[in-house]
Amino acid sequence: MLEHVPHWLGQLLRNARAGHDKLVILDIAQGTPKIDLSSPAFADGGRLPERFTADGAGVSPPLVWGVLPEGTASLALIVEDPGAPFPDPISHAVMWRIPPETQHLAEGAIVADGAGDADGDVGKNSRRAEGWLPPDPPNGHGVHDYVFQLFALSSEPELAANPQRKDLVAAITGRVLAAGVLTGTYSRGEDDAGRPEAGGAVVTA
């Protein structure tokens, strides 16, 4: 998506970012209890292995979560990049109707409906395609945060087929019992040092 942006232009746009304040979790889950969300593939605030990005196989990473609040009927997942040089974060995954008893998503589970064995339904990312949009930051733009946001819901939201981020957000607002956040980072051609925004800085409780 952004791999063809030249390094000089990425550097020029380095401070042009949507911003963490536009993450979904800060809008609809402030003050809710915290879900312990993690991945066996990377630490919170750590660099995503290339396998999960546009520079590798481009599959979604595995996720694991802990105890959910009583009354959780369903889970929803939204993955966003608030460092994108656009007015709003890029949506890398939209998923809902995840059974709470599963307690995990396997590597590569976020694929178009019917293309895999994932529990739950998958909506459209910012490229208007179902499934996982692999991280693809511009060269020279600095480190990007990929924020995995998991929501425990009190009831199953009603959604049409193939919703986008805005559709899911509207459907789950007012149903969030608890939320978890996990941040992975990625950049092209530079280290994580000197990053403009700190990973894992989102706090919901």
Assigned domain for 75 exists: yes
- Reported as a single tens digit per residue, the pLDDT across 100-109 is 999 999 999 9
pLDDT at 116: 53
Residue 144 has pLDDT above 60, yes or no: yes
Measured CA to CA, the distance from residue 107 to residue 110 in angstroms comes to 8
pLDDT at 123: 93
Assigned domain for 67 exists: yes
Assigned domain for 195 exists: no
Cα separations (Å) of 40 from 9, 63, 171, 182? 35, 7, 30, 12
Assigned domain for 76 exists: yes
Measured CA to CA, the distance from residue 84 to residue 107 in angstroms comes to 24
Residue 27 has pLDDT above 80, yes or no: yes
Q: Which residues, in sequence order, are CB contacts of 12 under 8 Å at separation 6+? A: none
Which CATH number covers residue 101? 3.90.280.10
pLDDT at 154: 97
Instruction: Give me the residues paired with residue 38 across strands.
Output: 64
Assigned domain for 24 exists: yes
Residue 67 has pLDDT above 50, yes or no: yes
Residue 197 has pLDDT above 50, yes or no: no
pLDDT at 7: 46
pLDDT-based confidence at residue 68 (cuts at 50, 70, 90): very high
Which pTM does this prediction carry?
Answer: 0.85
Q: How many structural domains does the chain have?
A: 1
Instruction: Give me the residues paired with residue 147 across strands.
Output: 80, 183
Assigned domain for 170 exists: yes
pLDDT-based confidence at residue 78 (cuts at 50, 70, 90): very high
Integer distance in angstroms from the first to the last C-alpha of the chain? 34
Assigned domain for 119 exists: yes
Assigned domain for 25 exists: yes
Residue 201 has pLDDT above 60, yes or no: no
The DSSP code for 7 is H
Range of the domain at 163: 7-186
